Chains A and B, each alone.
Chain A
Amino acid sequence: MNTRPESDPRDTVVTVRGLTKSYGGRTVVDDIDLDVRPGEVLGLIGANGAGKTTTVECLQGLRRPDAGHVRVLGLDPVRDADRLRQLVGSQLQSSGLPDRLRVSEAIRLFAGPDAVDADRLLEQFGLAHRRRYPFGGMSGGECQRLFLVLALLNRPRLVVLDELTQGLDPAARREVWAAVTRLRDEGTTVLLVTHELAEAEALCDRVVAMRDGRVVDQGSPAELVARHASRSTVRFSLEEEALDDVARTLQELNALPGVDQVLRHGRHVTLEGSRAVIAHAGAWLVARGLPVPDDLRVEVPDLESALLRLLDDPVVEAPHDLEGVLA
C-alpha cells in the first residue's frame, strides 16, 4: 500500500503529494512529496537536472503539473496563480531585469500596494548607494541582493530562492548568505533551491535531496550527514617516543571512544570512526604532554560527502513515510 505522509495544511506553507512533470516524454519530476513548514529554511538539493527547478516552478504556477496535488499557502498554484504570486517572493534561476532599469525604478515597478519600506530594505541589503544605478552596471552580488530585495518587497509569506549564488565569487556569496541568514532569523519561510551543498548546510534547517526527479532522502543537514556521509578521520604522525612502544600506542588509540579502525603506515596513523574520534584523539594527543603533531589533519563528514554517497547509491525508492520517521 502506498502510504503518503499526512500533514495538516495549517502546519505547512507548501504541501506537495505525487507531483509529476514530464517534458517530451522524459519524466523530470517523478511522483514527489514535499512539505515546507512555517518559518523554516528548506533546501531542495541535488545535481543539475535532478528536477529541483521544475518542482519550484510548479509550486509558483509557472508550470502546470502533469499529476499530483500541490497547495501553496492553501492555494492551487495554477488555478489561483494571480493570488498566489502576490504572496510568494521569488528569486528565479536565470532571470534578470532590463539592463537600463535603475534600482529605484525596479523597486517602483515591483512594489505593490502593501510593500514594505523599500529604503530600509535597500539599506539592509547594502544597496542604498545604488539607487540610481542601472541593473546592467551592477556586480553579480549586487544583482542577487537586488533580487532578494524585490523578492521581499511585498511582504511575502514564502520566499523561493533558486540557485541564489550561482556564478558569484566567494565574497559575494558570503554577502548573499548573510542576507538569507537574516531572513531565517526574522522567521521568513524560505524554499532554497541549490546544488551548492555548503550553501544548503550553512543556511537550511532541513534539506530534501532529489535525484532523477525523485526525493531520495530528507531531514536536517546533520541527519543526512549522519545517515549517509563517510566516517570522520583523524590523521597524524607519531613521534620517536611513541614509536618506541608502538604496540601500546596503537592499543591506546584503538581504545579511544568512537574509534572504529586504526591504520598505521610507518609513522603515519589514521583513526576512523564517529565524530567523537576527533575530540578523543585531540584529547589523547594533548594529554601526552608532547607537541601536537604538525601534520595533524581532521576530515569531518559534510553534506557534500553525504549527497555524493546518496547519488552513488543504487536507485532509492522515494520514502513516502519518511516524514513520519524524521518528525
Chain B
Amino acid sequence: MNTTTTHPDRPAAAGRRHPSVTRRLLTTELRLLGRDPMTLTFVLVFPIVSMLIIGGSFGTEAGGGFPVDPSQWYVASYFTVVIGSTGLIMLPVHIATYRERGVLRRFAAAGFPRWSFSLAMLAVGLTAIAIGGATLLAVAAPVYGVPHVDDPVRVAAGVAAASLAFVSLGVLLGTLLPTARSAQAVGLMLFFPSFLLGVGGPPPSVMSDAVREISERLPLALANQAIREPWLGLGDATGALCATVVIAIVAAGLAGRRTAL
C-alpha cells in the first residue's frame, strides 16, 4: 500500500500536545457563538429588552398579584427566560441548521467522536446561559437593581438543574427536527406559550384558574419556580426543583441516546 500524500511534514511543536477533537470543536463552537445572530437576538437582546419593558410596567410596590416588588419579580423571572430561549430556540435551530447544511455529516466523516458534538453543544448552551444571564443582571442592576438572593444554594441548584434540563431538551430537539425552519417553528411554539404563561407574562394571580393550573405545570414555569421562589424568599420550591431535576435527567438521557452525528 502506498502512502498517498507528498506534502511536507510540519514538525510537531515540541512539548505541546495537539488539542483533542472535543476541545477543538468546543473552542470553535464557542467562537461561533458570538457571531450567531440567533444567539444574540434570543439569548441576549430579547430577554433584556423584555425585562426592561415589563419590569417597569407594574411599579415597584408589592401587591396587585405580586408578592414582592414587581420589578424584582421580573428580573428573577427573566433569568429563566435566558435558559428557555437557549434551550428551546437557539440550540435546536443551531443543530438542525448544521444537519440541514451537511455540517454534521462532515464532522462524522472527519472522524469526530460521536459524543463530541453533543458535549460541545452542552458546553455552548451552558456558556450562552451564563453570558446571557450575567448580561441580563448587569443591565438590570442600574435600572431595577438585582434582587437579594435569599437561598443561594437552592437558587444555584435550580439554575443548574434548569440549565441542564433545557440545554438537553435543545440538543434533543435539534437532533430530532430535520430542518432549521422546523426547529425554529417548533422552538418558538414551545417557547412563547411557556414564556407568557409561566415566566415573563402576567402574574399567576390575574390568570383564570384553568390557565393558572396549566401555566404552573409547564416545564419552563417549573424551572422558573425552582429559581425564583428561593431567590426572592417566597418558598423553597422543592416540588418544582425535583420536577426540574427529573426533566433534566430524562432530557439528558434522551439527548445522550441521540448523539450519533
Contact = CB atoms under 8 A, between A and B. Distances in A.
B209 interface: no
A86 B2 contact: no
B28 A158 contact: no
Contacts of A85: 108-111
Interface string A96-116: 111011000100111011011
Contact of A100 (B12, B35, B110): B35
Interface residues of B, number: 31
Contacts of A100: 32, 35-36
A232 interface: no
A121 B5 CA distance: 11
Contacts of A38: 1-2, 4
Nearest to B105: A95
A115 B36 contact: no
A175 B102 CA distance: 23
B109 A90 contact: yes
Contacts of B196: none
A241 interface: no
Contact of A108 (B1, B24, B111): B24
Contacts of A121: 7
A55 interface: no
Given A100-B36, A101-B32, A108-B24, A62 B109 contact: yes
B7 A116 contact: yes
Q: Secondary structure at chain B's binding surface: helix, strand, loop or mixed?
A: loop
Contacts of A324: none
Contact of A95 (B8, B10, B103, B111): B103
Interface in A70-104: 73, 81-82, 84-86, 88, 90, 92, 94-98, 100-101
A15 interface: no
Contact of B12 (A113, A152, A187): A113
A155 B7 contact: yes
Contacts of B181: none
Contact of A97 (B21, B31, B106, B111): B106
Contact of A156 (B4, B8, B28): B4
A13 B3 CA distance: 10
Q: Which of B7, B18, B32 has the most CB of A within 10 A?
A: B7
A59 to B, nearest CB: 11
B103 A189 contact: no
Given A113-B12, A113-B18, A117-B9, A95 B106 contact: yes
Nearest to A185: B6
B248 to A, nearest CB: 28
Contact of B4 (A39, A97, A120): A39
B2 A96 contact: no
A171 B6 CA distance: 27
Interface in B1-47: 1-10, 12, 18, 21, 24-25, 28, 31-32, 35-36
A116 B8 contact: yes
Contacts of A152: 5, 7
Interface residues of A, number: 45
A10 interface: yes
Contacts of B4: 38-39, 155-159, 186-189
A165 interface: no
Given A96-B102, A113-B12, A155 B1 contact: no
B58 interface: no
Contacts of A189: 2, 4
A60 interface: yes
B113 interface: yes
A94 B12 CA distance: 33
Contacts of B31: 105
A13 B32 CA distance: 37
A186 B5 contact: yes
Contact of A120 (B1, B7, B101): B7
B110 A155 contact: no
A98 B102 contact: no
A152 to B, nearest CB: 6
A108 B10 contact: no
B98 interface: yes
A117 B10 CA distance: 5
Contact of A92 (B5, B12, B18, B109): B109
Q: Which 4 A-B pairs have the closest CB atoms?
A: A85-B111, A95-B102, A113-B18, A116-B7
Given A92-B109, A117-B9, A152-B5, 6 more contacts: A38-B1, A95-B101, A95-B106, A96-B101, A96-B103, A189-B2
Interface of A: 10, 13, 38-39, 60, 62, 73, 81-82, 84-86, 88, 90, 92, 94-98, 100-101, 105, 108-110, 112-113, 115-118, 120-121, 150, 152, 155-159, 186-189
25 contacts: A62-B105, A85-B110, A90-B106, A92-B102, A92-B105, A92-B106, A95-B103, A95-B105, A96-B103, A96-B106, A98-B101, A98-B103, A100-B32, A105-B31, A113-B12, A117-B10, A121-B7, A150-B110, A152-B7, A155-B5, A156-B5, A157-B4, A158-B4, A159-B4, A186-B5
